[in-house]
A and B are shown apart, each in its own frame.
Chain A
Amino acid sequence: MGAGLLLLALSGIGLARPIEDVSYALVSPLESGLRSLAQPIADVVANYGDVRDLTRENDKLRAENERLNAELVSLLEEATQREQLERLLEVKNSLAGQEVVTARIFAREPSNLRQLVAIDIGRDDGIKAGMPVITEGNTLVGTVTKVEADHAWVTLVTDVDSAVSGLVLESRDQGVVSGAYNRRLAMEFVSQDATVKEGDTVVTSGLGGTYPAGLVIGKVTGISGGRQEVFRRVTVEPLASLSRLEMVLVMTSFEPTRVTAP
């Protein structure tokens, strides 16, 4: 226990980083190998019997759905926000012009309490804490939170420590999308006057400067909070299949800004 506390203290002040770097350099190929070996078994289990075809079709439809959703997001943005076109086009152009680096997920946080994934690029590849991580269809996956020499940890949007400024695309209602222990997303601090409805798309608002605006977060699946409550609470289903992600994109050219009080 003493050794544990000592290591924890060393880790806290960064002195354990060389040990972690060396150990990860040694074990990450092993983890990748084990994961590669287990992946086919996992696929067989997941696709057992008749479910196999349905699963395959479901994956295909999900991919198609993500692509169509991305297109829809783009079209709705232009249709509903003519007055902000210039600004949004600027955002869109800036998103399109973003430099992204592909990364492979090779491990996940084994503790059920956190939703973290390890990616195979790190400080040596220019990765920094705070960089947003996305997947197909500009769908937000999370943020880089811990960077080592050759790998980095990404905190998923569903993690309890994750909070993203969100915007309902159709109604323009704003709130904070946060993770929970049940692996779902909740959009909090949504005004009682909000006109959000089920099926609406939630994107990043860009407020706070932590994420670029317009990244897709998910779909609204439920709305709660009566008139007597200060805010409404919106349940959001993540659009990205976070539990089965294998490859992600790190937005390396996005610099998070730290907003200070006026």
Chain B
Amino acid sequence: MSYYIGLPLVFLLALVEASVLPLFRVAGLQPNLLLVLLVVWLVVRGPNEAFVLIPAGGLSLGLVDGAPLGTALLALAPVAMLQEVRGARLSEGGLSIAIVFTLTMTVVYHLVYLLVFTVQGEAGSWAAALGRVVIPTAFLNVLVLLPTYALVHVASPDMRRAAYA
């Protein structure tokens, strides 16, 4: 897999998040598919590709959502910082580190959105948002993470070979 697949994929997922996923909401919530994919991409395939896909995904999502342009980019940017947290050997943690990162990044992602909405005067109670939206979405994202991780992992034989070399 490379940028030829990754870039169209993040753009497609941004469209899917705005047009298709709302039709399949569970208890009014939908997973952040793009966020999950970017976390998985970073963990499985390393930072080089992820550092290009994260801003591309942020821009794509920003162009199709209802928040001010740049909010999605800002909310997804912290995913790139995970590299600093984990160092250069991200792939060693595997699925467990991907789960931890997904939970953390879901919270960070929503906090950025909440901050922007608060600045605009359009946010409700942060406590209610955390309890009713952010935390449930984090667990929903973990559910989506499992098949996403498996797919990206299976589709990355080059990375697996490099890991065992």
Contact between B63 and A113, CB atoms less than 8 A apart = no
* Chain A at the B interface: SS class: helix
Q: Is B23 in contact with A181, judged by CB distance below 8 angstroms?
A: no
Q: Please name the residue on chain B nearest to A3 by beta carbon.
A: B73
> Given the complex of chains A and B, what is the CA–CA distance between A116 and B78 in angstroms?
25
> What residue of chain B has the Cβ atom nearest to residue A37's Cβ?
B20
Q: Which of B15, B16, B19, B74 has the most CB of A within 10 A?
A: B19
| Total B residues in contact with A, Cβ cutoff 8 Å | 50
Q: State whether A183 and B74 are in contact (beta carbons under 8 Å apart), knowing that A111-B65, A112-B137 are contacts in the complex.
A: no
A5 at the B interface (CB under 8 A): yes
A24 near B63 (CB under 8 angstroms)?
A: yes
Residue contact B63 to A112, C-beta cutoff 8 Å: no
Q: With A42-B24, A111-B113, A180-B124 in contact, do A27 and B68 touch (Cβ < 8 Å)? A: no
Q: How far is the CA of A5 from the CA of B73 in the complex (A)?
A: 8
Nearest chain-B residue to A108 (Cβ)? B22
Where chain B touches its partner, the secondary structure class is helix
Interface 9-mer from B43-51, B125-133, B149-157: B125-133
B64 touches A27 (CB 8 A): yes
Give the residue of B29, B64, B73 whose beta carbon is less than 8 angstroms from that of A31.
B64
Q: Which residue of B lies closest to A107 (CB)?
A: B18
Interface contacts (Cβ under 8 Å), in number, total 145
For chain A residues 103-119, which have a beta carbon within 8 Å of chain B?
Answer: 106-114, 116, 118
CB of A118 within 8 A of CB of B66, answer yes
Nearest Cβ distance between residue B17 and chain A, in whole angstroms?
Answer: 4
Q: Is there contact, CB below 8 Å, between A183 and B18?
A: no
Are A4 and B123 in contact (CB-based, < 8 A)? no
Mark each residue of chain A from 3 to 14: 1 if its CB lies under 8 Å from any CB of chain B, else 0. 111111111100
Task: Check if A230 is an interface residue, CB within 8 A of chain B.
Answer: no
Is A211 among interface residues, defined by CB-CB distance under 8 A? no
Residues of B within 8 A of A110 (CB): 17-18, 21-22, 30, 32, 61, 64-65
A247 at the interface (CB under 8 A from B): no
| Size of the chain A interface, CB-CB below 8 angstroms | 48
Q: Is B62 an interface residue (CB 8 A)?
A: yes
Q: How far is the CB of B57 from chain A (nearest CB, A)?
A: 12
Residues of B within 8 A of A35 (CB): 19-20, 23
Cβ of B122 within 8 Å of any chain A Cβ, yes or no, is yes
Which of A15-23, A76-84, A120-128, A221-229 forms contacts with chain B? A15-23
15 contacts between A and B (CB under 8 A): A1-B78, A4-B70, A4-B74, A8-B71, A30-B15, A107-B18, A110-B32, A111-B66, A111-B113, A112-B28, A112-B133, A180-B124, A181-B133, A243-B22, A243-B25
Q: Chain B residues in contact with chain A, CB under 8 A?
A: 15-25, 28-30, 32, 55, 58, 61-75, 77-78, 110, 113-114, 116-117, 121-125, 128-129, 131-133, 137
Listed from nearest, the 9 A-B pairs whose CB atoms lie closest are A7-B70, A160-B124, A4-B74, A8-B70, A4-B73, A108-B22, A110-B17, A42-B23, A31-B19
User: Other than the known A23-B63, A182-B132, A243-B22, what 10 A-B pairs have Cβ atoms closer than 8 Å?
Assistant: A3-B73, A11-B69, A19-B63, A24-B63, A27-B63, A38-B19, A110-B22, A114-B66, A161-B123, A183-B28
